[in-house]
Amino acid sequence: MPYSPQEKQRALVRVRRIGGQLDALAQALEREADCAAVLQQIAAIRGAVNGLMGEVLESHLRASFAPRSAAPKAAAAALEQTVALLRSYLR
């Protein structure tokens, strides 16, 4: 769950955008659009969902693993490295 009001707002905007993409996909299927266009829309939706998942996961990691140790710089660097790795994986 996004923890700050800004994170929550960004997540809601993404969800609404994904809803619009899903509506467009349903309309394309109803009008029997070309397969390439349908597949492209599905790929766009998948990318949007992956982006949302990445944002929520990053928010969770930052809230759960924020530096609390005696070496906060090292912990912060490890957290940033983990977030960067997850971002690249989710692309």
Structure tokens belonging to residue 20: 């619009």
Domain boundaries, the chain: 5-89
pLDDT at 7: 85
pLDDT at 69: 62
pTM metric for this prediction = 0.74
Structure tokens belonging to residue 35: 């397969």
Q: What is the pLDDT of residues 52-71, one digit of tens each?
A: 988 888 888 877 777 666 66
From CA 74, how far away is CA 19, in angstroms rounded? 40
From CA 61, how far away is CA 33, in angstroms rounded? 41
Positions of the chain with pLDDT under 70:
1-2, 67-71
CATH 1.20.58.1000 fits 5-89, yes or no: yes
